[in-house]
Amino acid sequence: MNKLNLAYCNECEDLVEFSIQDEVVNETYKGVRIRYEFPVARCKCCNSEVAASVDYNYEKSEARISAYKKSQGIIGLDEITEIMEKYNVGKEPLALVAGFGSVTIKRYFEGAIPATEYSDRLKELLDNEDSFEKLFELNCDKLNDVSIKKIKQRLVEIDQIKASKINQIANYIIIKMEEVTPLALEKLMAFSNGVNYALNGNRLIGEECQAWQHGYVYPSIYVKYKKYGYKPIDNGINSTHGAMLSLVSEDEIKAIDMVISTFGLYSPKTLEMISHRQEPWIEQRVGCKDTDPCNKSIDEESVKEYYIKNRLDSEENISKYISRVLGEIRSQRAFRF
C-alpha cells in the first residue's frame, strides 16, 4: 500500500496532497529584490504553498539568505566551507586567523550575515594563499598547537600545488571524483591529456607518461600516491580557488571535466582495460608479455593522432567510443572461452 504524503494547507485548513516543482521565487528581503530557484510544494486542491516537510521552511530561508548574499556580493557558506577545507582549519581557528571574534564564523553558519568588510576579507583568504599566510603568522599566537600544526602542513602542500600543473590536475580529479584510486587517477589523467588534444589541440600534461603493465602511468603521480594501493586517495584539497588551478586554463578544465563525466563512471580495472586497447600504449608494449614491467615513454604524437582520429572531443563521442571499446573487449573474451 502506498503511504500518502500529506502536508497541512492553511487555506484548506486540512491535510492535503501536494506536488513539488522547481520555481523561480521573486521576493523582497531586507529591502532588496531577490530571485532564487526552489522546489516549491503546492496544495493539489487550491495551489497554495505548503510546507512539504519539517525542514521545508528552514531550507527555503537558507535559499533566500544565500540569494540575498549573492545579490550583495557577500561570501556564501559554500565558499566559507571551501576556505576551511582549503587550509584545513575549523570555524574557530579560521575566525582567529582572519582577526575576527572567535565565534564569528560559527554565527555565519547559524544564519548571521557577514558585514561587507568581513566578507571581503574572507574572499581574499579564499583566493590568495599569501594573504592567508600573512594573517596566519600575525594571529597564530591565538591558536592552539594542533591547529597551527595542521595549517602549517597544509600551507606546505598548497605550495607544492602552486608550482606544479600536474599536481593541480591530479588534485582536481581527486576532489571531483570524490572516490578515486591511484590506478584510476593515472588513467583519467592520461585520458584527459588525450582528450585535450582532440578538444583544444595541445598537450595538457608536460611530464612523460609511461606504458606500464597496468596502463598509462605518470611516474611522479605514482610515487606521490602509491601508499594508497587499491584504496581511494583521501588527501585531496577541496578547493578550486587561487593557486589550486592557477596553471590550468578554463578550456583545459573542460577537457578534464569531460573525462570525469564519461571515463570517470567506470571502475579502475575497466579503465585499465580501455587503456590496453589504445594504440599509444600498445605500440610501446611490443615485445613485452602482459605481465612484463616496462617504462617506455608514450609517444605524444601518437596520443594526439589517436584521440583526434577517434574524435574524442565531446561527452557524446567519448561515451560512444567507450561503448565500442567495451563491446570489442566483450566479444574478444567470448571468442576466447
Give me the residues that bind Zn ion (CB under 5 A), please.
9, 11-12, 43, 45-46, 48
Beta bridge pairs of residue 129 = none
**How many secondary structure helices (H) and strands (E) does the chain include?**
15, 5
Minimum CB separation from Zn ion for residue 48, in Å? Answer: 5
17 or 315: whose CB is closer to Zn ion?
Answer: 17
Q: How far apart are CA 34 and CA 190, in angstroms?
A: 44
21 or 28: whose CB is closer to Zn ion?
Answer: 21
Please check whether residue 194 is in contact with residue 306, taking contact to mean a CB–CB distance below 8 angstroms. yes
Minimum CB separation from Zn ion for residue 28, in Å? Answer: 25
Give the rounded distance of the alpha carbon of 169 from its chain centre.
11
Amino acid found at 111: G
Nearest residue to 187 (alpha-carbon basis) of 289, 256, 286, 249 = 256
Please check whether residue 26 is in contact with residue 38, taking contact to mean a CB–CB distance below 8 angstroms. no
8 or 109: whose CB is closer to Zn ion?
Answer: 8
Strands 32-43, 14-29: pairing kind:
antiparallel
Strands 215-217, 210-212: pairing kind:
antiparallel
With 0-12 CB in 10 A as exposed, 13-18 as middle and 19+ as buried, what is 299?
middle
48 or 128: whose CB is closer to Zn ion?
Answer: 48
Minimum CB separation from Zn ion for residue 56, in Å? Answer: 15
Minimum CB separation from Zn ion for residue 62, in Å? Answer: 25
Amino acid found at 90: G
49 or 79: whose CB is closer to Zn ion?
Answer: 49
3-state helix, strand, coil in the chain (%, to 5): 55, 10, 35
Beta-carbon contacts of 258 under 8 Å, excluding residues fewer than 6 positions away, are 195, 199, 314, 315, 318
41 or 158: whose CB is closer to Zn ion?
Answer: 41
Q: How far apart are CA 31 and CA 29, in angstroms?
A: 5
* C-alpha distance across the termini of the chain, in Å: 47
12 or 253: whose CB is closer to Zn ion?
Answer: 12
Minimum CB separation from Zn ion for residue 44, in Å? Answer: 8
Residue nearest Zn ion, Cβ-based: 43
48 or 81: whose CB is closer to Zn ion?
Answer: 48
User: Which 3 state secondary structure label does DSSP give 110?
Assistant: coil
